[in-house]
């Protein structure tokens, strides 16, 4: 089993649509993946479970994966939570020609 604890850096946290994107990404791996927040845990493929974590920006969560592609899964999903794509996107807009 592989696990990594990350602080949710993207401004979206794991609410609504980000939860759906995260669950979709988790569905790409064969490993069993869980997200833990304090004493709560969620199946990473369940949008409802992720929303129930009510994990906003700055929340510390642990991603656990067990299975063939556990290493890749944890790396990819942790990367999602740690990326600040909000800021990247704004910069991109400013650089693009009008």
Partner 1 sequence: MLVLKGTGASAGIAAGRVVVRAADAALPAEPPPGDRQQEAARFAAALADSKRQLAEIAQAVRRQAGEREAQIFAAHLAMLEDPLLAGAIRAYIERDGLAAGQAVERAVAELAARFLALPDALLRSRADDIRDLGARLLRNLRGQADAAHAAGRGAGAVLCAEDTTPSEIASLDTEQELGVVTERGAVNSHAAILARALGIPLVIGVQDACHRLRAGELVIVDGASGEVLVEPDQATLARYAGWRQTPTAAAGDDSPAVTLDGFRVELAANIGSVKEAAAALAAGAEAVGVLRTEFLFLDRTAPPSEEEQFQAYAAVLRALAPRRVVIRTADIGGDKEAAYLAVPNPQPELRTPHSTFRTGENPALGLRGIRLSLRQEEMFRTQLRALLRAAPFGNLAILLPMVCDVSEVRRTKELIGSVQADLRRLDLGPWTSDLGRIGLGVMVETPAAAVLAAELAEQTDFLSIGTNDLTQYVLAADRTDPAVAEWYQPLHPAVLRLVAATVEAANRAGKWVAICGEVAADPLAAPLFVGMGVRELSMAPASIPAVKQAIRGLRKADAEVLLSAALKSKEAAEVVELLSRVTAD
Nearest alpha-carbon partner for 9 in 78, 90, 84: 84
- Kindly state the smallest distance separating residue 45's Cβ from partner 1, in Å: 7
What gap in Å lies between CA 19 and CA 24, rounded to an integer? 8
Chain centroid, CA 34 distance in Å: 10
Q: Does 21 bind partner 1 (CB under 8 A)?
A: yes
- Of 51-70, binders to partner 1 (CB under 8 A) are 51-52, 54, 56-58
* Residue 39 sits in the site that holds partner 1 (CB under 8 A): no
Q: Does 1 bind partner 1 (CB under 8 A)?
A: no
Count CA within 13 A, CB hemisphere, residue 27.
9
The answer to whether residue 15 is catalytic is yes
Q: In the complex, what is the shortest distance from the CB of residue 30 to partner 1, in angstroms, rounded to a whole number?
A: 16
Point out the residues that are catalytic: 15
């Amino acid at each position: 089993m592989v696990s990594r604890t990350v602080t949710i850096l993207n401004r979206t946290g794991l609410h609504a649509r980000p939860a759906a994107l995260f669950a979709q990404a988790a569905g790409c791996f064969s490993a069993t993946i869980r997200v833990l927040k304090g004493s709560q845990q969620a199946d990473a493929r369940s949008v409802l479970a992720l929303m129930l974590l009510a994990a906003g920006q700055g929340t510390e969560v642990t991603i656990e994966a067990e299975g063939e592609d556990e290493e890749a899964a944890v790396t990819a999903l942790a990367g999602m939570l740690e990326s600040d794509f909000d800021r990247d996107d704004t910069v991109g807009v400013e650089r693009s020609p009008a």
